[in-house]
Amino acid sequence: MTPGMQTAGLSPLDRPNSYIGKAVPRPNLERLLEGRGQYVSDITLPRMVHAVFVRSPHAHARIVGIDVTEAKTMSGVIAVVTGAELAKVITPWVGVLSHLKGLKSAPQHAIAVDRACWQGEAVAAVLATSRALAEDAAEHVVVEYEPLPVVTNVRTALDPATPIIHAELGDNLAFERKIDAGAVDDAFKRSDKIVDVEFIFGRHTGVTLEPRSIVADWAPGDRRMTVYLGNQAPHMVQNIVAKHLDLEEAQVRVLCKDVGGSFGVKVHIYADEMATCALSKLLRRPVKFVADRVESFNTDIHARDHICRGRIGVSHDGTINVFEIDDLTGVGPYSMYPRTSAVEANQVIILIGGPYTTPNYRGRTRVVFQNKNVMSQYRGVGHPIACSITEGLVDLAAQAIGMDPVEIRRRNMVRDDAYPCDSPTGLKFEALSHHASLDKLVAMMRYDDLRAEQVKLRKQGIYRGIGIASFIEVTNPGAAFYGVGGARISSQDGVAVRLDAAGTVICQTSVTEQGQGSESMTAQIVASAIGVSMEKVRVILGDTDNTPYGGGTWASRGTGIAGEAALQAAKVLRGNILATAAAILQGKPDDFDIVDGMIVDAHGQQRIELNELTRIAYFRPDTLPPGFQPELMATRHYVPRQYPFAFTNGVQASWLEVDVITGKVKLLKHWVVEDCGTIINPQLVDEQIRGGVVQGLGAALFEHCIYDETGQLTNANMADYLVPMATEMPDIEVGHQISPTLESELGAKGAGEAGAAGAAACVSNAVNDALSPFGVTITEIPLTPRLILTALGRI
Amino acid sequence: MKAPAFNYARASSVQEAIDLLSHYGDRAKVLSGGQSLMPALNLRLLAPEWLIDIGPIVDLRRISVESGLLTIGASTRHADLHRSPDIAAHAPLLKDAVAHVAHPAIRNRGTIGGSLAHADPASELPACMVALDATIVVLGPDGERRIPAVDFFVGIYETQLLPGELLVAIEVPKRAAGVRHFFSEHVRRSGDYAMAGLAAEAEIDGDAFVRLRLGFFAVGERPILATAARHLIGRPVTEAVLAQACAALDDELAPQDDHQATAGMRRYLARQLLVECIVSLLGRSDLRTKVVA
Ligand SMILES: Cc1cc2nc3c(=O)[nH]c(=O)nc-3n(C[C@H](O)[C@H](O)[C@H](O)COP(=O)(O)OP(=O)(O)OC[C@H]3O[C@@H](n4cnc5c(N)ncnc54)[C@H](O)[C@@H]3O)c2cc1C
């Protein structure tokens, strides 16, 4: 049997020594565990100064005057810079995208110039030789404010009596979208039961372990700006920094080394980060800014914060006839730049009813401005809300007609053999597996046994609940996300692989690593496709000077897009290596294979090692046949074009107990079945799912940015803002269905946000299931003891 | 979030600490485990000129038992309390309670003296002191003061300690045979400060309480020794008696609203704690609150 035949029909991924589908440890694990990570705060440059921002204590105020005289004289202080001074070196921006029709926003400055629009907006910067000295001096910057009326309540933000935050915009409406599909009014008329409720989602935030941090280094000699930043999208940052600082992109290098968690919080570029770049240019020296925890709470993007009325119409046989929503969200005073603050609302409106065949759907979403911190994309973007509304309504419909929640889903979910198909809102589904996933989930959780246990325990006064939530997830976005809207945020990714002189592989990729395992995923694919061990692959990422151009890691796109580029680049390199081997060994490329770093022949006989091949290629090309030039480096780029997004699906379940005396919810167990297509590293996928679930559980029970009516964030610290902790978390069991996308050879779709998408929805459903004997329904999160005790009428 | 500059002095003996403290008066702060003080400095809520570190004073970190009295040095760590066989034998309430204070990393550094001096009304240990009828021993330039725990706590973060004084020890009466205790608190997450909590100790004769000390926390400006206990002492406890005690308890609490609980919810939780406490101490599950659907 010839090797050519041996591999015929087998993709390089199925080869015997493949890493695909294996839970191999991440290559960067040891380095990080040894404390040798290189985070931005580890970077110290000669002449570097520390920036501290003086931030507005008011949610809305005119800046009457800033007196920096005393601060400037203080020990260690290099400069104190106001917004007006900084505006001379950096232009303001407007966070809109043209495909989000009608989205409007006002120009935002790196440092507020005349007016502060939320509590925490920077109004001046102090630069000193240490952060502590800069903080000392910041206390002596005297800002005179004239407080302005605040807009905090989204329900009244559009009332004529409410002041308009940006007069030039005419009103406080940032964005509105409506959808009307099918025959909604008829469908309600035909329905035997209609459920009509209001859902409330608390504002929360990402709480990355490493806060946002940046070192900006303007080197006047090179006329280059080097930016070290904890960020997910280095090329996006390169473009924006260049654009607003009057530089060419080539003059800006962005490095994103180790990043301590991002979750979407670090996919944006923030005003204070832009200010840091501008300050470096102004002072002609490196400037570091590391947000402290209070600043993180006040300025890292917040998310969710929706009030949504939802209606569902159902027939006695369980047919869901119609969904209708009216959604309202407040996003702070500006639409975030450059990805805007309308994407979450836009996702909510398109994703409602996603798993179901229901053809009738009417939706409206409105995004309003308010004097609170900016809101934008955080893990799951819109999915948790759409899922909670859809699945909350489906459970209430089931309850209204006395049908089991699993049964009503089975009767309405799109059939597994119905693909490809479109949703009523025009979403294109290539291949989903709602029924198989639900069947698997029901088996994993032993649904019927749990129901029996629930009944038994209720008689003893123990109230347990089961909540189910199916979902669809947008992954692998093409240009439809940002590119078509005019943002220079690439949807394609590039990977370059080269065989170096010692026979090892160096791989440069445009995706980035923030802990999810991009480096491992890339190395696994490249090693498998070439035929070397993973230790022989070194992955370089997060450097605009040294990687191909690409989008980065966000929107569950890293593996599906950059993973495919890695595969294609590695296949080209493998072909080039085999051509070189054929030239050396005087055969045809098809006669050879690469197995574990060794060129083998048709009989499986080991012929030469890769480092022998590279020795000849790089140092003794004179021995190669005339005219043959080894090309031991290859680059490929990839972006899906057939589908705007690769939809994935999944279903989650929660089993919990509500203590009806204390109002506490105890999570007992959580199950997830998801379908992300080809799985490269099952452990990494499971970790992504679990991490996302925990963030969703945080939203369901704990996390909440609590503002008072004057726009003050009242719990901007880790004692009062409750993140989920290990003790409160249940075991999370993860199962998979595998429906690969046929658009790419790899077949991988995204998995990063699936956990976050459905977790809160099933907790809400489970709490309502537990409380059903009391006739209580709660459609608000976080589900605090106070909320539950109030609903039960106990306090 | 960097502390403002301060001067730092390490005291190697109690005397040296008192000398330094009386010299700097209210310009100085004692630094013990630092688990409450350092966050306050970093948030710039406090800006003392001097920190007097009492960490090096080994004498302050000890637990001793002598004729009927358990003496706990002020620098005894929360983790020490949890591990100590003497605490387990003679003040098991403290052992139970300290497991609810924060998380292991914080318990490894935080001290009992720091906790009592800090006097957070939601703290577990101050309420235990009240329930256990402990005496707080304080040393100052004018010598020693011995303050009953019920008098020591004055208000939110406020005690009878004067500038220049050092809390040196806590004396807890050794628990007599037959004494029972109860500890429970309601928290959002394990390790959090409580929304309401109760530390109690009781002597029981037959089916009635002979002595009952109820130390509530997080339901007022300081730990509260509930006088409502009087309704439960010396008589068989019935549902009606318990209801009477709950009503009396309600009258003596002055809880506040915060992010986690309203004042009303705190009152409610305190009543639930009282019921659970009586159920547990008397082994009377028939008295348990019933919530019927
Ligand atoms: C995340 C976190 C969670 C926590 N959760 C809880 C909790 O659930 N329950 C709880 O009770 N506590 C909790 N704490 C606080 C912890 O228990 C502290 O250890 C305790 O409050 C203070 O003890 P310390 O030794 O650290 O004191 P320090 O922080 O060093 O000092 C606290 C105050 O007491 C003064 N002081 C300290 N020692 C003396 C002394 N010997 N004489 C006079 N004054 C003195 C100091 O000057 C300072 O004002 C938590 C802390 C953290 C960081």
Residues A531 and A503 sit within 8 Å (Cβ to Cβ): no
Please report the DSSP string for A167-211 in residue order: GGGSSSEEEEEEEEES-HHHHHHH-SEEEEEEEEEEEEE---SSP
Residues B236 and B208 sit within 8 Å (Cβ to Cβ): yes
Percent of chain B's residues with pLDDT above 70: 100
Q: B182-287 adopts what CATH topology? A: Enolase-like; domain 1 (3.30.390)
**Mean pLDDT over each residue of chain B, to the nearest integer:** 96
Selection from A700, A668, A667, A676 nearest residue A437 by Cα: A676
**Mean pLDDT over each residue of chain A, to the nearest integer:** 96
Tell whether A451 and A499 lie within a shared domain.
Answer: no
Q: What is the pLDDT of residues A247-287, one digit of tens each?
A: 999 999 999 999 999 999 999 999 999 999 999 999 999 99
Taking the CA of residue B167 as reference, the ligand 1 atom at the shortest distance is 42
Residues in chain B within 8 Å Cβ distance of A728? 189-190
User: What is the model's pLDDT at position A2?
Assistant: 37
Residue A191 lies in a domain: no
Q: Which residues contact A748 (CB under 8 A, 6 or more apart)?
A: A559, A560, A563, A564, A676, A677, A678, A679, A680, A740, A741
User: What is the model's pLDDT at position A421?
Assistant: 96
Residues A14 and A673 sit within 8 Å (Cβ to Cβ): no
* Helices A447-459 and A434-445: angle between axes, nearest 10 degrees: 50
- Domain B58-173 sits in CATH at 3.30.465.10
* Cβ contact, residue pair B265, A786, below 8 Å: yes
Best B42, B43, B100, B188 residue to mutate vs chain A (most A CBs within 10 Å): B188
Residues B176 and B136 sit within 8 Å (Cβ to Cβ): no
Selection from B102, B107, B162 nearest residue B136 by Cα: B162
Tell whether A320 and A440 lie within a shared domain.
Answer: yes
Tell whether A223 and A250 lie within a shared domain.
Answer: yes
User: Is pLDDT at A10 greater than 60 in this prediction?
Assistant: no
Tell whether A319 and A247 lie within a shared domain.
Answer: no
Please report the DSSP string for A648-702 in residue order: EEEEEEEEEEE-TTT--EEEEEEEEEEE-BS-S-HHHHHHHHHHHHHHHHHHHHT
What architecture (CATH level 2) is domain B7-53?
2-Layer Sandwich (3.30)
User: Is pLDDT at A17 greater than 80 in this prediction?
Assistant: no
Taking the CA of residue B161 as reference, the ligand 1 atom at the shortest distance is 43
Q: What is the pLDDT of residues A181-200, one digit of tens each?
A: 999 999 999 999 999 999 99
Take residue A704 and report the two structure tokens written for it. 């909440």
Q: What is the pLDDT of residues A430-445, one digit of tens each?
A: 999 999 999 999 999 9
Tell whether A49 and A99 lie within a shared domain.
Answer: yes
Tell whether A15 and A114 lie within a shared domain.
Answer: no
Last residue of a domain, which of A638, A667, A695? A638
CA distance A793 to A769: 17
Residue A199 lies in a domain: no
Tell whether A273 and A390 lie within a shared domain.
Answer: no
Q: Which residues contact A173 (CB under 8 A, 6 or more apart)?
A: A104, A158, A366, A367, A368, A369
Closest residue CA from atom 41 of ligand 1:
B167
**Average of pLDDT values for A736-764?**
96
- CATH number of the structural domain spanning residue A10: 3.30.365.10
User: What is the model's pLDDT at position A6?
Assistant: 38
Q: Give the closest of A131, A293, A774 to B293, CB-based.
A: A774
Residues in chain A within 8 Å Cβ distance of B186? 662, 664, 785
* Helices A563-585 and A610-619: angle between axes, nearest 10 degrees: 70
* Cβ contact, residue pair A662, B186, below 8 Å: yes
User: What is the model's pLDDT at position B293?
Assistant: 78
User: What is the model's pLDDT at position B90?
Assistant: 97
**Average of pLDDT values for A708-725?**
97
Residue A552 lies in a domain: yes
Phi/psi at B43 (5° precision): -80, 0
Tell whether A317 and A422 lie within a shared domain.
Answer: yes
* Cβ contact, residue pair A702, B188, below 8 Å: yes
User: What is the model's pLDDT at position A12?
Assistant: 63
Tell whether A418 and A527 lie within a shared domain.
Answer: no
- SS3 of A388-430: the string is HHHHHHHHHHHHHHCCCHHHHHHHHECCCCCCCEECCCCCEEC
């570190």: which residue's tokens?
B53
Residue B32 Cα, ligand 1 centroid: separation in angstroms?
8
Phi/psi at B286 (5° precision): -65, -20
User: Is pLDDT at A1 greater than 60 in this prediction?
Assistant: no
CA distance B137 to B146: 5
Residue B132 Cα, ligand 1 centroid: separation in angstroms?
20
pLDDT band at A480 (very low <50, low <70, confident <90, very high): confident
Selection from A364, A468, A380, A467 nearest residue A699 by Cα: A380
Residues in chain A within 8 Å Cβ distance of B293? 458, 463, 773-774
| Residue-range domain boundaries for chain B | 7-53, 58-173, 182-287
Q: What is the pLDDT of residues A96-147, one digit of tens each?
A: 999 999 999 999 999 999 999 999 999 999 999 999 999 999 999 999 999 9
Q: In what order do the strands lie in the sheet with B28-31?
A: B7-10, B50-53, B28-31
User: Is pLDDT at B51 greater than 70 in this prediction?
Assistant: yes
CA distance A424 to A181: 6
* Cβ contact, residue pair B195, A785, below 8 Å: yes
**Average of pLDDT values for B265-291?**
95
């945080």: which residue's tokens?
A698
pLDDT band at B289 (very low <50, low <70, confident <90, very high): confident
**Average of pLDDT values for B253-260?**
94
User: What single DSSP character describes residue A707?
Assistant: B
Residue A195 lies in a domain: no
Count of the separate structural domains present in chain A: 3
How far off is chain B from A132, nearest CA to CA, in Å? 5
Query: A571: which strand partners?
Result: none
Tell whether A634 and A711 lie within a shared domain.
Answer: no
Tell whether A652 and A768 lie within a shared domain.
Answer: yes
User: What is the model's pLDDT at position B292?
Assistant: 79
Residues A714 and A644 sit within 8 Å (Cβ to Cβ): no
User: What is the model's pLDDT at position A11?
Assistant: 63
Last residue of a domain, which of A638, A659, A684? A638
* Chain B, window 217-276: residues with a beta carbon less than 8 angstroms from a chain A beta carbon: 259-262, 264-265, 268-269, 272
Residues A240 and A267 sit within 8 Å (Cβ to Cβ): no
Residue A172 lies in a domain: no
CA distance A591 to A589: 5
The domain containing residue A352 runs over which residues?
Answer: 302-479+642-791
SS3 of residue B216 by DSSP: strand
Tell whether A466 and A505 lie within a shared domain.
Answer: no
Q: Which residues contact B84 (CB under 8 A, 6 or more apart)?
A: B63, B95
Percent of chain A's residues with pLDDT above 90: 96
User: What is the model's pLDDT at position A9?
Assistant: 41
Q: Which chain A residue is nearest to residue B262, measuring alpha carbons?
A: A786
Residue A204 lies in a domain: no
User: What is the model's pLDDT at position B83?
Assistant: 97
Q: What is the pLDDT of residues A558-591, one digit of tens each?
A: 999 999 999 999 999 999 999 999 999 999 999 9
Selection from B139, B192, B200 nearest residue B175 by Cα: B200
User: What single DSSP character describes residue A51?
Assistant: E
Residue B107 Cα, ligand 1 centroid: separation in angstroms?
10
